[in-house]
């Protein structure tokens, strides 16, 4: 293995994820680019093995991206590196070390920390370090770069990335909102990359075979002319396998944008819609501005008149929101029938102003990543634990697309979906005592038992729905315990009760 002067690395949450920020650093090294290399790992790899591979490159400078999901193993990697090779200069960056950095053990091990958007600042630091010039301070603040000067990183995706991994792209940076739980609230104003250069880079990715693009813009539909131009760019390149993910402002979808969205076939567009809370007092308290009537109208339009896959978000545990309010918000969102409802527990991210509510609402957060809330004045620890289990089981049952027909059977007409699923989550926890490592056939069996013995529903109707759900991705087999409740046809076991699959609904 040949050596290099600069080694960029991080631990991604999964193999299929890519380190978007590190590719920016690599692309903006200028004349140092040929002396640098990018090596990625994931959090499931052993820190000692990671250190071995890093040192095999014989680097002089290592730049490490630190995030909420990799802080613990990254700290171990950094400690091992400095014990083995104290002469290697270790530079940290990323959101987890950009705020409150002085108190963190990982920072104490490192030589330097670059906070903020380090696209250009990291290269400047490397030039100094390789020339023997050592900046006097440890923490270096990167000024917001002029995006017109930032080299785009898309040629740094290699053939394996394009074939196997997530391709992140961005047409803008920043967020127009000031939601106190989010780091983006600190990143104002919104800044656009020059559109012609961005589209040329997208054409380059397209020509190389990229078909799945995840836009990380915080408010893709803020600048309507830009968003429409980008959508029309991809409309002109419609082909099987094209997939585009965007994060949208929930209450901003005028007819000029609706018209172009309608033209995409089902399965092409996914919109991530952060609602977080339907309680207007809570939203005002955390500086979140949204028009709920317009938001609901937009979601109804997208479900009824487009093929967009809707990934929506709620946060449980916001200051001043009790269990009844959370339940009402969940039920209100269920009625809008998005394909996914991601339920998260409030996190106290470093640097966010959400901490101003700690005293009034007695907010208690875990001191360990990901810093989730443990309790507050309105929701005690035991209830938060039940909410965590609710969120996990909802992800398994309601979000993954395995039970689109079975899930609505968990509640009857007029019943609160939240209350019904709350009861299921409690039952699952009491029955199996865990929320992870549950095989799909086992989950099918658990749902059958619950729906026939606890609710109860007709066993044949439940078996028919579960069989259709189980077979929807193309599976031909039927779980053996369902067979006694199914009719036998020419093709083998078939559901004896017909129904039309549809999204989770109230």
pLDDT at 405: 96
pLDDT over 90 (residue 89): yes
**Which residues, 6+ apart, have CB-to-CB distance to 418 below 8 Å?**
326, 327, 328, 330, 331, 334
pLDDT over 70 (residue 119): yes
pLDDT at 487: 79
* Residue ranges covered by each domain of the chain: 6-145, 166-379, 402-506
pLDDT over 80 (residue 1): no
Counting Cβ atoms within 10 Å, is residue 305 exposed (0-12), middle (13-18) or buried (19+)? exposed
Domain 166-379 has CATH 3.30.390.10: no
Tokens of 324: 């009844």
Could you tell me how far CA 436 lies from the centroid of its own chain? Answer: 19
Tell me the average pLDDT of the chain: 94
pLDDT at 502: 38
Query: In b/e form, how buried is each residue of 141-177, taking b as 16+ CB within 10 angstroms?
Result: ebeebebeebbbbbebbeeebeeebbbbbbbbbbbeb
pLDDT at 496: 54
| Distances from the Cα of 184 to the Cα of 153, 177, 333, angstroms | 21, 8, 24
- State the residue for tokens 């339920």: 343
Q: How far apart (Å, rounded) are the C-alpha atoms in residues 373 and 355?
A: 11
Indicate the pLDDT class of residue 493, thresholds 50, 70 and 90: low
Indicate the pLDDT class of residue 108, thresholds 50, 70 and 90: very high
- CB-CB neighbours of 400 under 10 Å: 13
Indicate the pLDDT class of residue 501, thresholds 50, 70 and 90: very low
| Short-list 330, 191, 338, 352, CA closest to 250 | 338
Model confidence pLDDT, tens digit, residues 287-326:
999 999 999 999 999 999 999 999 999 999 999 999 999 9
Q: How far apart (Å, rounded) are the C-alpha atoms in residues 387 and 344?
A: 9
* Domain 6-145 -> CATH class: alpha beta
């Amino acid at each position: 293995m040949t050596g290099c002067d600069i080694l960029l690395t991080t631990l991604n949450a999964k193999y299929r994820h890519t380190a978007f920020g590190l590719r920016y650093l690599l692309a903006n090294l200028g004349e140092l680019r040929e002396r640098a290399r990018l090596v990625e790992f994931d959090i499931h790899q052993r820190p000692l093995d990671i250190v071995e591979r890093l040192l095999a490159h014989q680097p002089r400078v290592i730049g490490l991206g630190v995030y909420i999901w990799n802080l613990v193993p990254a700290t171990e990697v950094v400690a091992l590196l400095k014990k083995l090779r104290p002469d290697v200069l270790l530079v940290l960056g990323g959101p987890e070390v950009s705020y409150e950095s002085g108190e963190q053990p990982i920072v104490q091990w490192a030589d330097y920390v670059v906070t903020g958007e380090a696209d250009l600042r990291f290269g400047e630091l490397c030039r100094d370090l390789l020339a023997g010039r050592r900046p006097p301070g440890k923490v270096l603040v990167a000024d917001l770069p002029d995006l017109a000067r930032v080299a785009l990183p898309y040629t740094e995706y290699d053939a394996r990335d394009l074939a196997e991994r997530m391709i992140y792209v961005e047409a803008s940076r920043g967020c127009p909102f000031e939601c106190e739980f989010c780091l983006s609230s600190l990143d104002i104003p919104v800044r656009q990359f020059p559109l012609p250069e961005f589209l040329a880079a997208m054409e380059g990715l397209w020509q190389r075979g990229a078909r799945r693009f995840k836009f990380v813009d915080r408010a893709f539909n803020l600048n309507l002319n830009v968003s429409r131009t980008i959508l029309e760019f991809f409309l002109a390149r419609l082909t099987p396998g094209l997939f585009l993910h965007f994060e949208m402002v929930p209450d901003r979808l005028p007819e000029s944008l609706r018209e172009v969205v309608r033209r995409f076939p089902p399965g092409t567009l996914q919109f991530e819609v952060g609602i977080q809370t339907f309680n207007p007092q809570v939203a005002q308290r955390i500086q979140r501005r949204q028009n709920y009537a317009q938001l609901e109208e937009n979601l109804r339009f997208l479900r009824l008149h487009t093929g967009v896959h809707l990934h929506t978000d709620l946060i449980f545990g916001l200051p001043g929101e009790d269990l009844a309010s959370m339940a009402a918000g969940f039920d209100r969102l269920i009625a809008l029938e998005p394909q996914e409802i991601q339920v998260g527990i409030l996190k106290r991210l470093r640097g966010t102003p959400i901490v101003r509510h700690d005293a009034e609402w007695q907010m208690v957060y875990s001191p360990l990543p990901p810093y989730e809330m443990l309790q507050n004045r309105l929701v005690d620890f035991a209830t938060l634990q039940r909410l965590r289990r609710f969120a996990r089981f909802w992800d398994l049952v309601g979000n993954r697309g395995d039970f689109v027909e079975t899930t609505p059977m968990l509640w009857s007409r007029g019943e609160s979906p939240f209350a019904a699923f709350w009861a299921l989550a409690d039952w699952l926890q009491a029955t199996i005592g865990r929320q992870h490592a549950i095989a799909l056939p086992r989950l099918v069996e658990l749902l059958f038992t619950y729906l026939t013995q606890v609710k109860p529903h007709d066993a044949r109707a439940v078996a028919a729905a579960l069989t259709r759900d189980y077979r929807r991705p193309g599976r031909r087999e039927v779980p053996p315990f369902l067979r006694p409740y199914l009719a036998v046809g020419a093709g083998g076991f078939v559901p004896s009760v017909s129904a039309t699959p549809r999204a989770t609904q109230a």
